[in-house]
Structure 1
Amino acid sequence: MGIPIVDADGMGRAFPELQMTTFHVFGISITPMAISDEKGNTIFVDSINNEYGEWFARGVTRLMGGYSWISCYAMTGKELKKAAIKNTLSKAMEIGEILLSDLPPESKLEEICKFTKELCKKGKLIKSKE
C-alpha cells in the first residue's frame, strides 16, 4: 500500500491491559483515545489516568460486542524513540512467514527457535495434574 508505519510498539507481545506498556512506564498518556467498531460507532475518551483509560476501553469494547479498534498513546517522535520497543512488527511478520511456510511443524518450531535466538527450549513433562 506504500503507507509508512513505525516498526515498534509499547510491549513487543500481547498484553492483558492497555496500560501495561513501555509507553505507560515512560509517562505517556493513553488519552486522547478513539474506540470504533465495525458498525461505525466511535467514542472518544479523555481519562484522568491510564488505568481509567483501560477501564473505559474495556467497558466500551464489551458494549460493542467484544471487539473494537482502539487508537491511543498519541506521542511525539521524540517520545516514541525513547519509549518504544523497536522492530516488533518486522519480527512478527518474519515469525508469521515461518508459520505460513510449507515446512513440516517440527522444522517450523526449529526455525522460530533460531529466529528468537533459542528462546524456545525443549523439555520433558514429568508430572501433570491430570
Structure 2
Amino acid sequence: MIFLLLAAASAFCPPTPKSWERQENSVVSVPGWNTVGLKISGKPLWNGNAISWKNLRRNLQIVGEMVLPRPITIFRPESVAPCNEIIRTRAMMIEHLHCKEGGCGEGPSWNEFSSLSRAADF
C-alpha cells in the first residue's frame, strides 16, 4: 500500500526543468560530471554513495563555485522517490549550480553517462 501511495505522489511531481533535458542527437562535451541520486526513502546520494542533506548542499556549493570548465551535475531520482524531496533536491541544485547555463541534467537522455567513467568527483 505504501508503495502505491509513493508512486502516485511521484506521478504528480513537477516535470524535469526543460533546460535540464538533453536535446535528442546532441553532442555533449563535459569536463566531468557528478550524479545526485534520490532513494525511495528520500535519502540523497552523491555519485552513488549515501550522503546527508547537509553534505549534499556543501558538495553542490563546491561545484557551483568551481571555475570553468565546471562538471555537470546529473539528477537521477528513483522513479518512486518522494516528490517533496525531488522538489527539494532540484531547488538546491538551482540555488547552487549554474543550471540555466547547462550545469544541470536530468532524465533518460543522460543515461549514457552512467556507463562511462566519471572524470569528476566534485
Larger % of helix: which?
2
| Greater C-alpha radius of gyration | 1
Larger % of strand: which?
2
Normalising by structure 1, we get a TM-score of 0.26
Normalising by structure 2, we get a TM-score of 0.28
